[in-house]
Amino acid sequence: ASVLGLSVSDAVKQMRGKPGEAVTLTIAREKTDPFDVKLVREIIKTKSATAKAIGDYGYLRVSAFNEKTTDEAEAAIADVRAKNPKIKGWILDLRNNPGGLLDQAVSISDLFLDGGEIVSQRGRDPRDVERYNARPGDAIGGQPLVVLINSGSASAAEIVAGALQDRKRAELVGLTSFGKGSVQTVIPLRGGMDGALKLTTARYYTPSGRSIQKTGIQPDLEVAETREDAQQIANRSFQFSEASFTNALNAEEGKARVGAHQPAEAPPEGFDVKTGDFQLTRAEDVLKAGSVAATPKMPKPAARLAEVIGPKVPKIEPAAPVKK
């Protein structure tokens, strides 16, 4: 059966089946004849946390926060440290991490903190505050840590990035995060007989008292992934954030998300963004230098600021008189 024109979910329905059964897919690509690929169906168990060594440094990728994230992260870190005892520092990659469970955001932060506050959630009543604290023990023994974030880092990912930044445990490289700093509570109606009501009841605050909502977490070293991203940040077409929703819950009074501006860094001419990861490269540079302040800065990209250029307003000619 053809999947041409079908949505992804409808196409997937046609491919799904019992584990162990085979399915043959016919794939058609430009400039090549269609070809068959035979696959055996199985239950795919994805890991939300994986780690590896990159040169002198450990790299921990956390793609989401589910029930197993912290356990997977701990095991992955321990495995890399056992195989590479000379590792000098770590990179925690939270880019495009949409968030997930609060308790896992707290426990992932706790892996790198030796105590103190991680996050608080505060409701409308000033007395309605819940604080979450770290326990003693650091999974990487206090080694240097850099966190990668971008506009796709949201919610639980922002809690981790904000906690590690505020507590001076890590420096952040990348782009300002999404800005999803609101807390929702599900309230059953008639014990669930009439469904439930989901209400926004609180905001998340980092240890220094910053609200994540709308404004997001700003990196210590702003680095665009591509030159195109740098231009989009400059002309405000980079609108993938909580602030782009017209009815989004406001941030704290007097605080606004950073507007159009010249991003600090972008890949230089000659850097192949298809094979290289410029944000990751700069995270490694920060670890090598010891801090963002000590890291030699790259020349700023020649992005044209939309605010400087000004919007193009169409010229409206006066209507010609109607001939009677």
Domain boundaries, the chain: 8-40, 49-306
Nearest to 266 by CA among 304, 233, 221, 301: 301
- Side chain identity, residue 182: S
| Dihedrals phi, psi of 163, to nearest 5 degrees | -65, -50
Is residue 175 within 8 A of residue 149, CB to CB? The reply is: yes
Q: Which of 151, 153, 180, 241 is catalytic?
A: 180
Sign of the torsion formed by the C-alpha atoms of 259, 244, 217 and 72: negative
Length of the chain equals 324
- Domain 49-306 classification at class level: alpha beta
Decide: helix, strand or coil at residue 249: coil
Q: Which of 93, 166, 220, 285 is catalytic?
A: 166
Q: Which of 155, 177, 182, 241 is catalytic?
A: 155
- pTM over the 0.85 mark: no
Question: Is 166 tagged catalytic?
Answer: yes
Is residue 144 within 8 A of residue 287, CB to CB? The reply is: yes
Burial class (CB in 10 A: 0-12, 13-18, 19+), 254: exposed
Compute mean pLDDT per 10 residues along the chain, 324 residues long, and list them: 84 89 89 90 90 98 98 98 97 97 98 97 91 97 98 96 98 95 92 93 94 91 90 67 62 64 83 94 98 90 53 55 58
Exposure string over 177-201, b if 16+ CB within 10 A, otherwise e: bbbbbbbeeeeeeeeeeeeeeeeee
Decide: helix, strand or coil at residue 12: helix
Residue 249 confidence (pLDDT): 66
Question: Is 155 tagged catalytic?
Answer: yes
Task: List the 145-149 sheet strands across, edge first.
Answer: 49-54, 57-62, 89-93, 145-149, 171-174, 221-222
| H-type alpha helices, the chain | 8-15, 69-83, 102-112, 156-166, 227-235, 278-289, 306-309
DSSP state of 276: -
| H-type alpha helices, 5-138 | 8-15, 69-83, 102-112
CA geometry: angle 236, 152, 7, nearest 5 deg: 100
